[in-house]
Amino acid sequence: LDSLGKLTEAIAEYDKAIVIMKPLVENGRPELANDLAMAYLNKGVSLRGLGKLTEAIKFYGDAINLWEQMLIDGYPQILPNIAKSLGIRFDTHKAAGNTESAEKDIRRLHELLEFTKQHKEIEHFGEYIQTQIDNRS
């Protein structure tokens, strides 16, 4: 629906997914956290497409928070999702004139890049994170 330009309909479907998955994740189904975060991210993208920047930023934050928790819980493979979402949120902050908030997202991207450099097993994610930074410099 989103790719067909039916943003309002897409948002309604993301809302359905969120209503189903959120309580499951909150009640001990962490394997659904990535899917829930993707629903938040995609809803944010659709909201931005409708020009609802403030709402979009909120949903990007929901996605980022879930992925950050997954990172803490030992799932470093979601680093590209965090980086992509931070980049998207940065762009949306800039479009909304939120320079200070945009800078916080860039700082977090730099922190994640340093994190990958400290852990050999995930250093390959650093290139993707660096690309996200370079695309916004």
> pLDDT, tens digit, for every residue of 46-83?
999 999 999 999 999 999 999 999 999 999 999 999 99
* Vertex 111: Cα angle to 105 and 113 (nearest 5): 105
Terminal-to-terminal C-alpha distance of the chain: 32
pLDDT at 2: 86
pTM of structure? 0.93
112 CB burial (10 A radius; 0-12, 13-18, 19+) = buried
> pLDDT, tens digit, for every residue of 86-120?
999 999 999 999 999 999 999 999 999 999 999 99
Residues in the chain, how many?
A: 137
> pLDDT, tens digit, for every residue of 115-129?
999 999 999 999 999
Cα–Cα distance, 49 to 8 (Å, whole number): 10
Cα–Cα distance, 110 to 112 (Å, whole number): 5
